[in-house]
A and B are shown apart, each in its own frame.
Chain A
Amino acid sequence: MPERIEHYRATRFEESVAAPRKARPRRRPFALVAGAVAYLVTFLIILPILWIALLSFQPSGNILGNPFSLSQLTLDNYVKVIGSLPLLRMYGNTMLIAIVSVTIGTAVSFMSAFALTRMTFRRRKVQSSLRFYLLAGLAVPVYILLFPVYRLDLAFGVFGTYAALILPYIAVSIPFNTLLLTGFLREFPTELEEAAIIDGAGLARLCWTVVLPLMRPVIATILIFNVVYVFNEFPFASILINNPDMVTVSLAVSRFQGQYTVDYGGMMAAATLVLLPQLVIYAVFQKQVIAGMTVGAVKG
């Protein structure tokens, strides 16, 4: 059976992104313009990010008064952030929470999405209603959840542990994951799975060795978004973390904002330090988005 799937993949999907079609001479000027536009748009989009990076090297006084000055750039803000925040611990806590919640969240969402798009319910109405039930969570603003989740955490005795954040993070990711997974599964033809079933694959094997690999671009996308969510999530983290040893990076930036004082330099440096690992994570998963379809082609 594996050969058959590999063969299927190799013939049905494009070999690589970098060369979607053979170069046609008459298209060259257009490609050139497209390339230029791509660079220009990208530059415009990242301009404000470059600016944070620049501001993070400015002395605090300059940020408000003279943000463009290049004469006094300093590492002071970074020294301060590294000195006053337990950054390693924050990264560690965040990675732990992200890995556990995103893994579980993606797994349970994938299972339910598979059932909601591929399995046959006695009543089809139930199937589509369940999908809408999960999708409705997309419309829920987080502030409606804060108080009740705190009380749930207390009731379950998980308050003060990592699970206090992990559980709501999983739950909140389910609507988004469901939207992407059910959407793409519906768009995606079932021929391959039918072939696998004819070959005698069971449910677990069908999910794990047939559907999951094919959904790699989507899974990678989901992982990226969920990890970014955990890194930036503030309302839950600020309410549900009571122990200074358990703080996450999303709280780092707010440490520089007091009742009557704001340390903009510290904020910018903390922001940059929170951003960098996320960009690396994106770069890694992003490769998966592209690589997803090419595995078979290489082997074929």
Chain B
Amino acid sequence: MKSAQRLTLYLLLAPAILWLGLLIVLPHVEILILSFSERVAPRVYAYGAGNYLEFFTEPLYWRTFARTAIMSIFVTAITLVLAFPIALYIARVAQGRTKAMLLLLCLLPFWVSELVRTLGWMMLLRETGVVSYLLRAMGLADQPVELLYNDGAVILGLVYGGLLFMIVPLANALESLEPSVVEAGFDLGGSRWTVLRRIVIPHAMPGIVAGSIIVFMLTVGNFATPVLLGGKNGLWFTEQIYAQFITRFNWPQGAAFGMLLLLLSSIIVWAGLRLTRQSLGTTLRQA
């Protein structure tokens, strides 16, 4: 009887386990193994940690890595600061139709692919683009302004792409905050800032952490936005991985970079959770 029950359980779990195993675990194991192989001669490979050593000895790679990490954290922070008032408005002020409209408005850019969105930004920001034209028309610039191909453009594009993924968990978290709790915060003498700092933000913390993790992951793993908007200066770690795999045919090196990126994201997410004293469980529920 008992073994039959267990069998049923296994059968029911089988699709999920297969899914996890075949699509997530197996490829990662394969990449991990690949990352430890080194080319000796054509079609001859040996095992070794050389690919990881290469990462640490070549300043170019770890600098790109650090740059990607720092910029991603920065992008996440900006996204959070921008998304918070929007989420607050959607969750606490907007009602019924307006609320749905606002959420739809946030969702709208995601009906087209990331590539198209990024190209849209390029249209706006390029030297002969709309913004440059407007600046000249308003007399704020006397010659065409190139707004593309710098870190600012990359950050702009990444923040834009991450906004929705921050707003939704934030609005979710803020919506569950009882209005009377906020009123009590004022009633007992709290200023707007005190109420925000001691009541609203702590309450929204699971949403903040969930949104930040999502945006950070999306940003770190983004490829098209930094490449297209950053141009010659838009170096991103995913680009290094792509270059290793595709233009250099150096799969083991690319695999090692991939594993390092995975490690980086995991460490930063873990550190974020520790810092905010949130557990992964509550955060995932919020997301």
- A and B held together in a complex: no
Using CB atoms and an 8 Å cutoff, list the residues of chain A in contact with chain B: none
Using CB atoms and an 8 Å cutoff, list the residues of chain B in contact with chain A: none
